[in-house]
Amino acid sequence: MPPVRIALASLATGLACVAIAALLAPYAAPVALKPATVPSATTAIPPVDTTRLIATIAARPLFRPDRRPVAAVIKGDAGLPRLSGILFGPHVAVAIFTPGSGATRLVTKGERIGGYRLSAITADTVTLTGPGVTLRLTPRFAHTEAAPPPLSQPPALQALFSQMPGRH
């Protein structure tokens, strides 16, 4: 018998033995898997010291190239610093006032600033109440009189979106 035929016969015999052993071997019992532990939606989030984080953020104005505060005065009340920003979210509501000199001041609801009491904070306005007057302020960038206009789409994009199927 030629050597190739002997090799093929040996290989076929070996494969047949493996197949018979697999058929005769007992099946292993299924392994019980523990379900994965998933935190529930009510799992408490550890508290974060937001006051320290906000103070760090407010210490250096984000939109200034030199990262230094700029003095600005609100018309009608020289003693009230400029509202330079609002931090508003589910767990924080802070108004950021930048005085003409000195450190930036963080004010929360109920606190006083410049003779006014901060009575409400929303995502885009701060309401101050004083003797016989209520002021609604929006944040102002340095050297401007009002908040920047809201972002809008350029006319070319509006025309493009109006031509898309399913858009009205």
Closest CA relative to residue 69, chosen from 111, 97, 107 = 97
Judge whether 125 lies within some domain. yes
- How confident is the model at residue 139, as a pLDDT? 85
> For the residues 93-114, what does the mean pLDDT come to?
87
User: What is the count of structural domains for the chain?
Assistant: 1
Domain housing 75: 68-137
Going by C-beta distance under 8 Å and a sequence separation of 6 or more, which residues neighbour residue 32? Answer: none
How much is the pLDDT for 142? Answer: 64
- CATH code for the domain in which residue 116 is found: 2.30.30
Write down how long the chain is.
168
Residue 130 counted as domain residue: yes
Q: Of 9-23, 41-55, 110-124, where does mean pLDDT reach its minimum?
A: 41-55
Tokens 């508290």 sit on residue:
47
63 vs 103 pLDDT, higher one: 103
Put the strands of the sheet holding 82-88 in their side by side order: 82-88, 93-98, 105-107
